[in-house]
Structure 1
Amino acid sequence: MQSARKIAIKNFKRRFADTEETFEKQWNELSTSIGAIQTQQKVGTSLEQLYKTVEVIASTEKGASMAYHLLVAKIRSHMSSCRENVSFDKSPEDFLTTLNQLWANHWEQTLLIRNIFLYLDRTFVLQDVGKASIWDASLSIFREEIVESTRIRHRLILDLLGIIKRERQGEKVDRSLLRSLLRMLTNLQLYSSIFEGPFFEETKNLYSAEGEALVRDLKPTEYLVHVEKRLFEEEERVDVYLDENTRKPLIAIVEAALIEAHTNTILTKGADSMITGGCYDDIRRLYELLGRVKDGHNRLRNSFSNYIKKVGSEMVADSERDATLVNDLMEFKEKMDHIITICFADADRFWQAERDAFDYFISTRPNKPAELIAKFIDSKLRLANKEASDEEMDHLMDRVVAIFRFIQGKDVFEAFYKKDLAKRLLLNRSASVDAEKIMLAKLRQECGSAFTHKLDAMFRDMENSKEYMTYFKQYCDHLQDQGTKQLPMEFNVNVLTCGQWPSYDIAEMSLPQELSMCLTRYQDFYTSKHANKRLQWLHALGNCVLKATFRTGCVKELLVSLYQCLVLLLFNCKSEWTYEEILANTKIEAKELQRTLQSLACAKVRVLLKVPKGRDINSDDKFTVNTAIQEKLFRIKISQVQMKETPEEHAKVEEEVSADRQYAIDAAVVRIMKTRKTLPHTQLIQELFSQLRFPVKAADLKARISSLIEREYVTRDPDDPNIYKYVA
């Protein structure tokens, strides 16, 4: 079986010799039309006819090849003629306008010519990989004959850079002309090779010189505004007429010349003044601009940290501002927090820098900030501060804790806080028990339950004391039913657990018979409940309410300390007492008696009159009741000397803290050595630094180690004295 045969029908092959007579005629027709297009004259032949003529010529390979080369030569000849007609005796704008018009004409002419020769482009040119399309060939000719001409290229770049420079100097220029010419260079693939290099160099030189001059003459805030303006202008130039690929290197040059080169100068001259003045917009601008350059934010962070250290150290070192230091620190911290949040984009690195800086400067004055924070909290939790709302008090506590967090010697804070808390609780001077417990909860959350263990125990003692008083009243009622004499006064006792409260000196004094009877009755009651426990009376913390008749019709209630009470009760016996007589009858320690008499006779409310007048108490002074007292209030609070801290109390607290620290160091050394058995001196010191929660010097640690060696808890290695061994 035979396979089917395929028949191919082809056009008759025409020899070029048959069309050679007509080729020249046809080309002449095309050449004339091309010339008319190039000279912007009317084309005599219709474009459709010209297209068909090209189709006929391109029907043979030889004809197509000749037509292609003749067309390229025609375009090149025209461009060469145009180049010769370019005039250089023009202003930059006129020269660039001429060149731009030449490019626009060439673009339109090439578009029209390509449409006429489209058949040639799609057959002959498309089949030959090595030949450029008519469009590409035409652009290549324009590039070679016009733009790459030495004189034209030099003048083009020079004028472009000149106009851009004038625009940077504030002059208004024709941006559409610049956009057109730079697009021309991009289309001709010359933008990066002949324009970008000189443009970048010109930009670098301009802004380097400008930066050097302005950073010296302008204020830092004004300079930053100028830099921001320059960056915006360059970004806008890219948007309007520069190539998009120019954006990144161009902005990098501006940033390097105006920001990176002068970062240290800007920070040195302006950062501190901006922060001090609260110039938040300027600080935010500084942060954003420095974020554009390498290591800019790190340098700003270091400057910010140094500012906090400098200002904070000055605040802490100034003893004259101790009264307002805590409040100043809280305001300073809030200001720095606001700057980080608003200006530094809430960046973690700046939060860490702030924490490190506060840690540093607060420790420059050991112990004092801890003491002042404790006293500040005491002043806010006293009865005198009761007008603050719960929300305000809670917010204030959070602010205080934010500063307390940076205290290294928290044991100092604990000692002073415990002493003040004891006075508030025992003298009924606390504004709110709820506020006290909220503050305690915040401290517990910050430092752990071990830190607040003794403080919690103080509150438990106060609650237990209330229960004891309930049982005591029942006890007294029972005794009264059995015929025992009723107590002569209302009486309340707080039982404090030894070791949980601050230590107090046991003061002996001559108590009135009525008060002694109350104390004896309570002691009997307590012994009946706790046979193995013993009570010690702390008279220095006692307070009383006295009913006083100064004259007929003038009856007052006086809120006084027990010391003040003992002095005032003497005037029931006679109207005038000397200092020596009061001292002998009350048996109050002389220094305490002087303070007590000052509070009664020299304070704002004077219950007693002193002769001679004066603030100092002398042995020959005489005291009488102030029968002319003019206070309008029925209940009068006499100056609370108990709430005031004496130098002796302050020194005692510091001594207790010092002793506690020695015990803590000894315990830490023994604990470490018991675990490790043998340890080099350096490693032991390092472990002690990591475990102890208060600041300590290496010399102090060495002294405690020597003490433990003397007490035979630790011994030195016989062969190497720098190695310690634990003694079991």
Structure 2
Amino acid sequence: MAPPQPRPDIVTNALATMQKAAAVPPPPMPTSKDDINGTWRFLEWGVDRIMFSLKEGVDLRTYMSLYTSIHNFCTAQKAAGPTTNTLHSTHRGAHLLGEELYHRLNTYLKQHLAGVHAEMVKHSDEALLTYYIEQWNRYTTAGTYNHHLFRYLNRHWVKREMDEGKKDIFDIYTLHLVRWKEDMFGSTQNAVMDAVLRLVEKQRNGETIEQSKVKQVVDSFVALGIDESDSTKTNLDVYRQYFERPFITATGKYYEAESKAFLGENSVVDYMKKAERRLDEEKERVPLYLLAEIMQPLMKCCESALIAAHCQLMRDEFQILLDNDREEDMARMYKLLSRIAEGLDPLRTRFEAHVRRAGHLTVEKVAEAGDNLDPKAYVDALLEVHTQYSGLVQTAFTGESEFVRSLDNACREYVNRNKVCQKNSARSPELLAKHADNVLKRSTKATEEDDMEKMLNQVMTVFKYIEDKDVFQKFYSRTLAKRLVNGTSASGDAETSMISKLKDASGFEYTNKLQRMFQDMQTSKDLNSSYDEWCKDTFDADDRKEGVDAYYQILGTGFWPLQPANTPFVAPATIVKTYERFQNFYNSKHGGRKLTWLWHLCKGEIRANYAKMNKVPYTFQVSTYQMAILLLFNDSDTVTYDDIASSTMLAKETLDPSLGIMLKAKVIIASPEGAASQSGTTYSLNYGFKNKKLKVNLNVAIKAEQKQEAEDTHKTIEEDRKMLMQSAIVRIMKSRKTMKHAVLVGETIQQIKNRFSPKVADIKKCIDILIEKEYLERLEGDDLGYLA
């Protein structure tokens, strides 16, 4: 729609003034102060010089004449009329004359802008912008000069009018802006804005433009934001309505069309690269020639057109990127979708499902080993998936907390409910504890401290996802006990570091007993030193030689997860004499305590003087049971199975494997040859025994015992869980007194879920047990009550 045309007579007058302003000689300065017409003719000539001939301008003498004529006119006394109050009449006269001068300037500006508008409509596109900017700069500069010229009018008449609350009176510079806004802006802003938008579109299409033109248009729109309620203040209303809104609307339409066309011919990955580039361009455009306030709405518009409108296509592509490990493209997709509300939720869901599938598939490969599954292989399989995708979360998804949560949820799922755990839900924590035992055991290969710490951190990574932490605790405490008792720990520092990590993860109570084990080991060390001193003071050298060199470990029953032996045992006389001596010493220091000897955990070394390597006797590392068997050969070259059984009193389940190990190592020979360990078999020493090592280890774990130990551990875990659930129920009911059955079950789960995941059926059984024990009672309906 074409802007309205100004009146022809005003246009003609304005154009003529523009052409002749510089050539017209100045009229004479008015001689009478109250001559409004003469005064205005003189002032109009000066304003013309300012408006049209800024380069020539006016000299100082002329400027002072113009200023003086304004001052004289505004202070003329004649216009005040007869009155007795001189002061009042002066004020009133100045008021009236100032008003006349103000309105004549206002009319002049209207006529001037009518001429400018008539010339502007002849231009279009960039030529229109060039003309608009040229005239705006000329007009506002002239407005600044005129503002100074009419300074006396501003200070007195204009100020008084504004103080009295007149809404249509402005200082002279603001009057120039108001006139432009009303006489020019309303009819040209659409054409100017269209030209600006076409110019910006050219830049978006890759052409080079004069950015300063857009910047100057923006500045003009900002300058026209005059607060109508207070002319001394400005706002951004004009800019927002006539520049920002059309600019953002045009931007949205441009990118909607471009993105649709681009996707029709290119891949989603290529589109993401383009969208990323476009967003960066728009962000860079703002400081170049736009107002900073436009940044947020502009980016929101671009994000809507470039991302939100096509987010489903990007989300559908995400699975392909995951399957092909295209980390860079996933990072790009994350950055784009993170810009829109709830843009990442579907990605997190798909990521979690993908990690869960990857975890299950990786575990299935190692699960084929069945009961012979290597703990290290199992833990490595769990870590492989976690390491891969935790790295992806950190790099592609910037470690965002919600993606970390999705990863944790997926890892928790495949760690606790994989193929290995189908028959036994406690399999994961059991295998993890065995792996930790292997890591912390002394091995033939020297382990660097950094490598050890790295492996312990890996154990803790899996531990974080284990739900049945009580199972891990039981198995870990048993393996720790064995390492401490047998002295097979690779490093004391590594052991304490691991306990410290477990304490940080699960609290003091979780590791209390583990720490007490270490205290007992130190106490035992001090006790053995005291025992050696006691022996020196009590016995002479010959008496001390009669015993066996021994080291004793005093382990507190309440802290060590050690069970008594499953077999009776009669120790050899030499060992009996030795341990009785220590027992006398211990009783003298700690009256009232009872020592229970754990023969199945004892071990020793025995020298085989009958078999030598280069004249050096072999040394056998044996269990106490094996030592008792071999000592029988000191009294006889051959010993029968029945003699061994009656002398040691060992149960067949323990005796047979002990003999089997020595037969396999060819330390003893069975007669008849190849006979099984049974009644009637005779055993003799192998005087031709040979081995590559001088120290031969015969103290090998018996598989049957290991299996039995694992079963006993699981039974202990079940009993402990029942007690834990019952204590939690009593604790809750003691504080609440009465509760609904379902609410009690829910709170019990909340209290103990950090130790293991209880089943609702098990909690209900515990509630029934507590009712039978009269800790709880059933009330009306579904309520339960606490019995003090």
Q: The TM-score by the shorter chain falls in which range?
A: 0.7 to 0.9
CA apart distance, 1:420: 0.9
Aligned pair in 2 of structure 1 residues 627, 289: CA closer, same or farther (>3 Å)?
A: farther
2:713 maps to amino acid: V
Q: Is 1:251 aligned to residue 299 of structure 2?
A: yes
Q: The residue matched to 1:646 in structure 2 has which SS?
A: helix
Task: State the partner residue of 1:160.
Answer: 196
The residue correspondences of 1:665-680 to structure 2 (distance < 5 A) are: 665-670=725-730, 679-680=739-740
Matched residue, 2:722 = 662
The answer as to 2:270 corresponding to 1:234 is no
8 Å contact from structure 1 (residues 290, 297) kept in 2: yes
| 1:178-217 alignment runs, 5 A limit | 178-187=214-223, 191-210=239-258
Q: Structure 1 residues 643 and 424 mapped into 2: Cα distance closer, same or farther (>3 Å)? A: farther
Gaps of 5+ in 2: 1-29, 74-96, 162-167, 226-237, 368-373
For 1:510-549, what aligned pairs fall within 5 Å after superposition? Answer: 514-515=574-575, 518=578, 536-548=596-608, 549=611
Mapped contact 1:510–1:586 kept (Cα < 8 A)? yes
For 1:379, which of 427, 432, 438 is the aligned residue? 438
**SS of the counterpart of 1:234?**
helix
**Partner residue, 1:652:** 712
Distance 1:302 1:70, change over 3 A: same
- Structure 1 residue 545 displacement after superposition: 1.8
Corresponding position of 1:455: 514
Q: 2:765 aligns with which of 695, 703, 712?
A: 703
Q: Secondary structure of 2:567's match? A: coil
Question: What TM-score do the two structures reach when normalised by structure 1?
Answer: 0.73
Cα deviation, residue 204, structure 1 = 1.5
Give the corresponding residue for 1:170. 206
Q: Does 1:640 align with 2:700?
A: yes
Structure 2 residue matching 1:421: 3-state secondary structure: helix
Cα distance between partner residues in 1 of 2:149 and 2:571: 129
Match of 2:22 in 1: none
Deviating more after overlay: 163-172 vs 416-425: 163-172
Which amino acid in 2 is paired with 1:104? E
Name the CA distance, whole Å, in 2 between partners of 1:161 and 1:585. 107
Aligned partners of 2:170 and 2:528: how far apart in 1? 111
Q: Partners in 2 of 1:102 and 1:705 — Cα distance?
A: 87
Deviation track 1:529-551 (CA, whole Å, cap 9, x = no partner) reads: 77866655443323222334256
1:668-722 alpha-carbon deviations (Å, 9 max, x no partner): 44555566665542343244334444321111121233334445555544xx363
Equivalent position to 1:413, from 443, 452, 472: 472
Label 1:379 to 1:219 Cα distance change in 2 as closer, same or farther (>3 A): farther
Gaps of 5+ in 1: 1-10, 89-94
Q: Is the 8 A contact 1:715 1:727 kept in 2?
A: yes
> After superposition, what is the alpha-carbon deviation per residue over 1:341-373, rounded to whole angstroms, capped at 9, x for unaligned?
888778777777777776666554643333233
Counterparts of 1:431 and 1:596 in 2: how far apart (Å)?
27
Q: Is the Cα–Cα contact under 8 Å of residues 114 and 135 in structure 1 kept in the other structure?
A: yes
Match of 2:565 among 505, 524, 529: 505
Equivalent runs, 1:459-608 vs 2, <5 Å: 459-463=518-522, 465-466=524-525, 469=528, 486-487=545-546, 489-501=548-560, 502-508=562-568, 514-515=574-575, 518=578, 536-548=596-608, 549=611, 553=615, 555-565=617-627, 592=654, 596=658
Structure-2 separation of matches of 1:109 and 1:496: 99
Q: How many residues align?
A: 696
Identity %: 25
Output the amino acid matched with 2:604. Answer: C
Contact kept, 8 Å, 1:58 with 1:119, in 2: the verdict is no
User: Post-superposition shift, 1:241?
Assistant: 1.8
Aligned 8 A contact 2:120 2:131 in 1: no
Tell me the equivalent position of 1:79.
116
From the superposition, tell whether residues 430 and 300 of structure 1 become closer, same or farther in structure 2 (CA, over 3 Å). same
Aligned equivalent of 1:97, options 122, 127, 134: 127
Paired with 2:126 and 2:325, the residues of 1 have a C-alpha distance of 51
Determine if the alignment matches structure 1 residue 422 to structure 2 residue 452: no
- The C-alpha deviation readout for 1:435-470, integer Å capped at 9, x for no partner, is 434544554565455444443454454455556655
Alpha-carbon separation, structure 2, partners of 1:15 and 1:476: 133
Contact 2:607 2:620 (8 Å CA) reproduced: yes
1:546 aligns to what SS in structure 2?
strand
**CA RMSD in angstroms, aligned pairs only:** 5.6
Secondary structure of 1:383's aligned partner? coil
Instruction: Return the alpha-carbon distance in structure 1 between the equivalents of residues 376 and 266 of structure 2.
Output: 40
Q: Residue 366 of structure 2 contacts residue 377 of structure 2 at CA under 8 Å; is this kept in 1?
A: no
Quote how far apart the aligned CAs of 1:203 are: 1.4
- What is the correspondence of 1:57-456 to structure 2 with a 5 Å cutoff? 68=105, 71-72=108-109, 75-76=112-113, 78-83=115-120, 86=122, 95-101=125-131, 103-105=133-135, 107-108=137-138, 111=141, 115=145, 119=149, 123=153, 127=157, 130=168, 148-149=186-187, 156-187=192-223, 191-210=239-258, 226-261=274-309, 266=314, 269-270=317-318, 279=327, 283=331, 292-295=339-342, 320=367, 322-326=375-379, 364=417, 366-384=425-443, 387-388=446-447, 393=452, 397=456, 400-401=459-460, 403-404=462-463, 407-444=466-503, 447-456=506-515
Amino acid in the other structure paired with 1:698:
V
| Aligned-partner Cα distance in 2 for 1:241–1:31 | 33
Alpha-carbon distance, 1:425 to partner = 2.2
AA in 1 matched with 2:428: P
Task: Give the stretch that moved more between structures: 57-66 or 415-424.
Answer: 57-66
> Distance between the aligned counterparts of 2:636 and 2:268, measured in 1?
78
* 2-structure distance, mates of 1:281, 1:657: 48
Q: What's the offset of the Cα at 1:415?
A: 1.6
* Counterpart contact for 1:72–1:138, Cα < 8 Å: yes
Counterpart of 1:238, as a letter, is V
Cα displacement (A) at 1:648: 2.1
Q: Is the contact made by 1:111 and 1:135 (CA closer than 8 Å) also made in structure 2? A: no
- Whichever residue aligns with residue 198 of structure 1, its letter is P
Instruction: Give the superposition deviation at 1:654.
Output: 0.4
